[in-house]
A and B are shown apart, each in its own frame.
Chain A
Amino acid sequence: MASLSTSLLTAVQALVADTGALQVTNNNIANASTPGYSRQVAILQEATPTNDGSSSVGNGVVLEGYQSVRDELVQTQIQQETQSQSGANAQLATLQQIQPTFTTSTQDIGTEMSAMFSSLSSLSTNPTSASAGQAVLTAGKNLATAFNTASNTLTSQQAGLNTQVTQDVSQINQLTQQIAALNPQIAELKATGQDGGTVQDQQNQLVLSLSALTSVAVTQTDNGETLSTGNGTPLVVGSQSFALQTTTGSNGMQQVLDQNGSNITASLTTGDLGGTVQMRDQTIPGLLNQLDTLANQFGSAINAAQAQGFNQDGTAGQNFFSVPSTVAGSAASISVALTDPTQIASSSDGTAGSNGNLANLSAVQTSALPAGQTPGDAYANLVYQVGTLTSNATAESGATTSSLLQLNDQLSSVSGVSIDEESTNLITFQTAYEAAARVVSTVQALFSVTLAMGTVAAE
């Protein structure tokens, strides 16, 4: 039979347990806005019952200890989303710098190209006019400058990204050192049966910062967290960190090497470093190549038209544009070769006053270049590509931001959730996602219809 003192003891234990739980709650509230803080819960366990031989009497609850509520799965997802977000942000920041050069403005390539053909049309009405000839030369120079500016914008962005690679690697090395230094502390705490919650929180924050820079795989071992890059290059093992290095590659760009000197640049796909490398080595070279091709083929086409005619003193037309023989670098170096308006090959038969060859020069506007498109269409395609890349990066950046909000919300709500209830909710969410995905498809189809209607309406 339970005595009064036993009952009192049970009550006291319950009180102690509740007080402990209350302390935890207070601590949680105090740290509600502390970045990386993991909410703690009090572990209440039923006290060992007293067995008097015939029956067993309960002794209430005891406070077993505290533990950090940390959903590792959500934590891992947050790290992955952070990598995606940083990669998208790195690309978006660069594309936002590039985009103004490739939109319709007063001095963009498309506008200057139109201005040049317009000036050729004016010259056609009076082929001996010095002012009309000068206008063609000026328009040609403006167009060459537009090509030069666009190319310089791309290459200067590429140079900036190259510097960013070195900075990112430096930050990665600092973070891996700090993470490695925390591993022995956590191992020591765990060895003595303590929950290394605070230190673990600190390490999680560092891993999150590292995730913002590059793709990181985290594995828990007896010696703490082992970190490696996406392709398996070790970054942290126990208390040791392995520094990444940079070296100038044959293309003049900084290459990232692991501790063995192997080049891992191409395998870096996410995080700020991945996004930076992607823009520097893939996106910008792709755009530069198209720009160079357009400059080279356009310049060559105008030069070919010049060669078919004669200038005002009856000599065969010379090159209008100076373009390199190879495509690479054409946009950066294209310039007007003619120095005098009389050198424009307006005449088709060598007689002064003839405008027969101006039609050949003007025809370049509507003729397909070797790449398969007219100069105007080729430029429009380039503008469209930059616009699409920017839109996609914007969408990806926005989506990962919302996704991170969701995951952080999930992380902060982990505890005391019924697994069945949680599972049901998740499946309902998934069903709603599927319905939403159908809406996305419908809206996509609807957009085409609406745009077509709007286009007609705007005409």
Chain B
Amino acid sequence: MNLEALQKRDRVANAYLQQLQALALEISAAMDAIAANALPRFQDSVAKQEMLCASLVAMANTVSEGLGLSEQPLLSCIDPAVALKIRATSGAIRELNLKYAALLKHSGRSIALLISLCRSHTGQFQEARGPRLKHQTWSCEM
């Protein structure tokens, strides 16, 4: 591999690592946004995640094609230190993704229940006095 190809290889590997790190940060930010019910922040984060994923998939394809510079896959001969960081970041993303999926499952259930409550609601959204009456207000709707 010539010098130019080596430089290009290192650039792509480092860019891939940066994108992975950015994705890990975005997943964390999305989970914080869900916990805080911060809808715009959550939407913004999901949009960024989609962009990062698309970019990473494209890069992965590029890598697997070896940039057309060599018959070997690109990452098969990159700097071991960068490769180690890529593996560590991937591991961290895997853990985060697992937690993210579980959080979406739990929060999704809550949101679905609240939506069904809103859909079945008629009249004013005013709570009756005392817990029992309030319970009756929505229990039939559930």
Q: With A425-B39, A450-B90 in contact, do A436 and B104 touch (Cβ < 8 Å)?
A: yes
Interface residues of A in 366-399 (CB under 8 A from B): 391-392, 394-396, 398-399
Does A456 lie within 8 Å of B99, measured CB to CB?
Answer: no
Does B106 lie within 8 Å of A400, measured CB to CB?
Answer: yes
Does B39 lie within 8 Å of A406, measured CB to CB?
Answer: no
Interface residues of B in 81-110 (CB under 8 A from A): 82-84, 86-87, 90, 93-95, 97-110
Q: With A402-B103, A426-B111, A446-B57 in contact, do A436 and B46 touch (Cβ < 8 Å)?
A: yes
Q: How many A-B residue pairs have CB under 8 A?
A: 204
Does B36 lie within 8 Å of A405, measured CB to CB?
Answer: yes
Q: With A73-B113, A73-B138, A433-B111 in contact, do A395 and B99 touch (Cβ < 8 Å)?
A: yes
Provide the bound-state CA to CA distance between A4 and B113, in Å: 52
Interface residues of A in 431-459 (CB under 8 A from B): 432-433, 435-440, 442-444, 446-447, 449-451, 453-459
Q: Within the complex, what minimum Cβ distance (angstroms) separates B71 from chain A?
A: 14
Residue of B nearest to A189 (CB): B130
Does B43 lie within 8 Å of A200, measured CB to CB?
Answer: no
Prevailing SS type, chain B contact patch: helix
Does B75 lie within 8 Å of A456, measured CB to CB?
Answer: yes
Provide the bound-state CA to CA distance between A392 and B121, in Å: 37
Provide the bound-state CA to CA distance between A428 and B108, in Å: 12
Residue of A nearest to B31 (CB): A402
Provide the bound-state CA to CA distance between A453 and B73, in Å: 8
Residue of B nearest to A221 (CB): B132
Query: In the complex, which of the residues A391, A430, A435, A453 contacts B86, with contact meaning CB atoms closer than 8 Å?
Result: A453
Q: CB of B65 within 8 A of chain A? A: no
Q: Within the complex, what minimum Cβ distance (angstroms) separates A81 from chain B?
A: 6
Provide the bound-state CA to CA distance between A398 and B102, in Å: 8
- For chain B, the count of residues having a C-beta within 8 Å of the partner chain is 72
Provide the bound-state CA to CA distance between A439 and B93, in Å: 12
Does A406 lie within 8 Å of B34, measured CB to CB?
Answer: yes
Residues of A close to B34: CB separation below 8 A: 402-403, 406
Residue of B nearest to A186 (CB): B131
Provide the bound-state CA to CA distance between A428 and B43, in Å: 9
Q: Within the complex, what minimum Cβ distance (angstroms) separates B76 from chain A?
A: 5
Interface on A for B, CB 8 Å cutoff? Answer: 43, 65, 67-70, 72-74, 77, 81, 84, 186, 190, 195-196, 200, 220, 222, 391-392, 394-396, 398-400, 402-403, 405-407, 409-410, 413, 417-419, 422-423, 425-430, 432-433, 435-440, 442-444, 446-447, 449-451, 453-459
Residue of A nearest to B20 (CB): A450
Interface on B for A, CB 8 Å cutoff? Answer: 20, 23, 27, 30-32, 34-37, 39, 42-43, 46, 49-50, 53, 56-57, 60, 63-64, 73, 75-78, 80, 82-84, 86-87, 90, 93-95, 97-115, 117-119, 121, 125, 127, 129-132, 134-136, 138-139, 142
Does A456 lie within 8 Å of B125, measured CB to CB?
Answer: no
Residues of A close to B113: CB separation below 8 A: 73, 77
Does A72 lie within 8 Å of B134, measured CB to CB?
Answer: yes
Residue of B nearest to A445 (CB): B57
Provide the bound-state CA to CA distance between A196 and B134, in Å: 13
Q: With A453-B63, A453-B73 in contact, do A432 and B37 touch (Cβ < 8 Å)?
A: no
Does A423 lie within 8 Å of B115, measured CB to CB?
Answer: yes
Does B46 lie within 8 Å of A446, measured CB to CB?
Answer: no
Residues of B close to A438: CB separation below 8 A: 50
- Name 9 extra pairs, CB < 8 A, besides A394-B95, A442-B57: A81-B106, A196-B130, A406-B107, A425-B39, A430-B112, A436-B100, A439-B49, A443-B97, A456-B73
